[in-house]
Structure 1
Amino acid sequence: MRIAFLVNAIETEKPSYTTTALALAALARGHDVRYITPGDFILSPDDALMIRTAQFGDARPKKPETLLRALTGPEQERTLINVEEVDVLFLRNDPALDADSRPWAAHAGANFGRLAAERGTIVVNDPCGLALAQDKLYFQDFPAIVRPTTLISKDIEEIRSFIDNHSDGVIIKPLQGSGGKNVFRVASSTESNLNQIIDAVGEVGYLIAQSYLPKASDGDTRMFLMNGRPLKRGTVYAAFRRVPARGDVRSNLHARGTPKRANVTKEMLAIAETLRPKLVEDGMFLVGLDIVGDKLLEINVFTPGGLQTIRELCDVDFCEEILDSLENKVSTKKTYNGVLNNRILSTY
């Protein structure tokens, strides 16, 4: 199959990224792998959707560093192809990274992905579903039983009142963001720097105030779901713990969190089952859940990462299961000759 990965920028991709691992695994299976960025779409006057792609040709890099050098080297030539020649378009760009500096790019994946799906390409995650998840308001669409108590506001007095009602304190973070950026724990509404925190976080939009979960001090668990169900091989789940650095409220690996092997509990599996109907309905093929105890802290539907970390901790490469599923979708689409739409295929 021909698979194209949409990323924010090829130059900023890293060997440790899940996208890199997926691309390597696809190349090892003999697939034609392409990379594109938000600026590589062209809608022609004849209504053909074209994409400018970076590709590997006959090369089959086996190491992450070699793969990324091949994509950015001086010999790399971009090829213009019709999106109808692509079997799978895998949207792996993070809109939050482009929201400030390149707002035009933030929604390009979902917008052009929808056009690609209309032309017969399998697009994951489903672009119409991703359009609903452009910020953390999407999180509020899931059942309240799995979510911490949450306030979304820009009103400082509302936020102060919310803090006063939570003796364990609250977490304040931006409505749109990722990687643990601008995430603060506030213990009391009388903290001297509360105004500065609200100003800093609120500068980019609405704020989320979320009840602090004491168990979060021990870290959270990132667990992958594929086609609405926990991704696993045998008894091993695609999951790992993220332990925050001393003195830091954030568990994100970008924020110096430490990865550990995870113990997937029945509470975590219950959360996954509670989320499954909506994830399937929205065509969310691959997502990452961040869980503390019996509560869901975050859901990453754009660029869930950590598969390389799981491979190092558990000696299991879940890229194989993901590619098995994608190959099955392509085969199913050919079998039914276009009868199944993208939303159905993305969770098949």
Structure 2
Amino acid sequence: MKIAFVINDHATEQVKYSTPTMGYAAYKRGHEVFYIGVGELGYASDGNLTALCKTISDRKFKSQETYFKAVQEQELTKISSEDLDVLFLRNDPSDEIGEREWAQNAAFIFGEIAVRNNVLVVNHPTSLASAVNKMYFQHFPEILRPETIISRDENEIREFFKSQKQKMILKPLKGSGGTNVFRMDKKNEHNLSQTIEAISRDGYVIAQEYLPAATKGDTRLILMNGEPLKVDDAYAVIQRVNAEGDIRSNIHAGGKPDKVKVTDQMLELAEIVRPKLVQDGMFLVGIDIVGDKLMEINVFSPGGLNMMSRAYEKDFAAEVIKSIERKVHYKNLYGDYIDNSRLATL
């Protein structure tokens, strides 16, 4: 199998990220693995997707670290969709905000070309394009979600603040990693106008019900093909505990990972989101749970597989690659009879 991972940029990709973890798992299983920066995608006159990429072959490595270091040291080489079985879109559009606005939608656009070129593309690019901001979360049943409004009107946000007994979370509609997330209450109400103005400079503001359980952090659960990812009796799940004095539990924002037991309530939340994820061709997704609610659904580059694998001593990345192998097998058997959006979650 020939599988390419689209990342934001080679210079910013880190060995501890989940994409190199899955790439190494695929490499160890004997597959050809390629890494493509989103700015290295292109379109050829013959209608094929083209790309510059980094890859390595015919070498054995003792660890993910030595493997990915060797990959990063390689010169860029050219490939096309004719060279690929799978294109795995793992770039995060929110990382491009304010820096490379043109890069936010590029992977979806070129991913759709790859689909037409008979390449399996996960997650399904058309659905990813519709999920480029947190509004996608509002398409799921209300029972899952904290009470929320999305607006740029300060008066409307202030009214919501009052209705929430002067406790709420403010964050941007676009963004990830805990950037520009604020808890507002009576103590800092005097900063409310300034906070709304700062967030709204870059677009819409999400005002969200504050969940007291958030003081204990949140739980990241990985879903694959709409189901919780599991190896033997272990789930791919981690508790992300807030850094002291910080409302954010994101690992990039200083949150600490810890093992956690999956509860029936978590599984019920996962079951509620499953139908739409399957319908949308969302192969690999991370859901963030606080109490009995979901805070976010990460469909772009859900992380944590490396931490989860270490915590439970299970190779979750290999399980992801095995699932992709089955999809390639189905595609070879059925050809165009199964749409990419359906094949992505089979």
| TM-score, normalization by structure 1 | 0.96
How many residue pairs get aligned? The number is 346
Structure 2 CA distance for partners of 1:250 and 1:190, relative to 1, 3 Å: closer
Instruction: Report the equivalent of 1:68.
Output: 68
- SS of 2:164's partner is coil
Instruction: Report the equivalent of 1:310.
Output: 308
Alpha-carbon contact 1:226-1:286 (below 8 Å) kept: yes
Residue among 282, 285, 292 paired with 2:283: 285
Amino acid at match of 2:13: E
Gaps of at least 5 residues in structure 1 are none
1:193-208 matched pairs, under 5 angstroms: 193-208=191-206
- SS of 2:45's partner is coil
Amino acid at match of 2:206: I
Structure 2 CA distance for partners of 1:344 and 1:273, relative to 1, 3 Å: same
Amino acid at match of 2:331: K
C-alpha separation in 1, matches of 2:342 and 2:309: 30
1:70-149 matched pairs, under 5 angstroms: 70-73=70-73, 76-149=74-147
Instruction: Report the equivalent of 1:320.
Output: 318
C-alpha separation in 2, matches of 1:122 and 1:149: 37
C-alpha separation in 1, matches of 2:254 and 2:24: 26
Amino acid at match of 1:51: A
- SS of 1:191's partner is helix
Amino acid at match of 1:7: I
Alpha-carbon contact 1:168-1:213 (below 8 Å) kept: no
- SS of 1:46's partner is coil
- SS of 1:337's partner is helix
Alpha-carbon contact 1:150-1:209 (below 8 Å) kept: yes
Residue among 267, 270, 279 paired with 2:265: 267
The reply on whether 1:5 has 2:21 as its aligned counterpart is: no
Offset, 1:57: 2.7
Gaps of at least 5 residues in structure 2 are none
Deviates more, 1:179-188 or 1:331-340: 331-340
Instruction: Report the equivalent of 1:38.
Output: 38
Q: Deviations over 1:163-189 (max 9, x none)?
A: 111126111000000100000000139
Instruction: Report the equivalent of 1:52.
Output: 52
Instruction: Report the equivalent of 1:154.
Output: 152
Alpha-carbon contact 1:163-1:188 (below 8 Å) kept: no
Structure 2 CA distance for partners of 1:246 and 1:190, relative to 1, 3 Å: closer
Residue among 235, 238, 243 paired with 1:237: 235
C-alpha separation in 2, matches of 1:323 and 1:153: 40
Amino acid at match of 2:291: G
Alpha-carbon contact 1:160-1:189 (below 8 Å) kept: no
Alpha-carbon contact 1:164-1:188 (below 8 Å) kept: no
Deviates more, 1:81-90 or 1:289-298: 81-90
Alpha-carbon contact 2:7-2:90 (below 8 Å) kept: yes
C-alpha separation in 2, matches of 1:178 and 1:84: 34
C-alpha separation in 1, matches of 2:48 and 2:251: 41
Alpha-carbon contact 2:87-2:121 (below 8 Å) kept: yes
| TM-score, normalization by structure 2 | 0.97
- SS of 2:132's partner is coil
Quote the sequence identity (%): 49
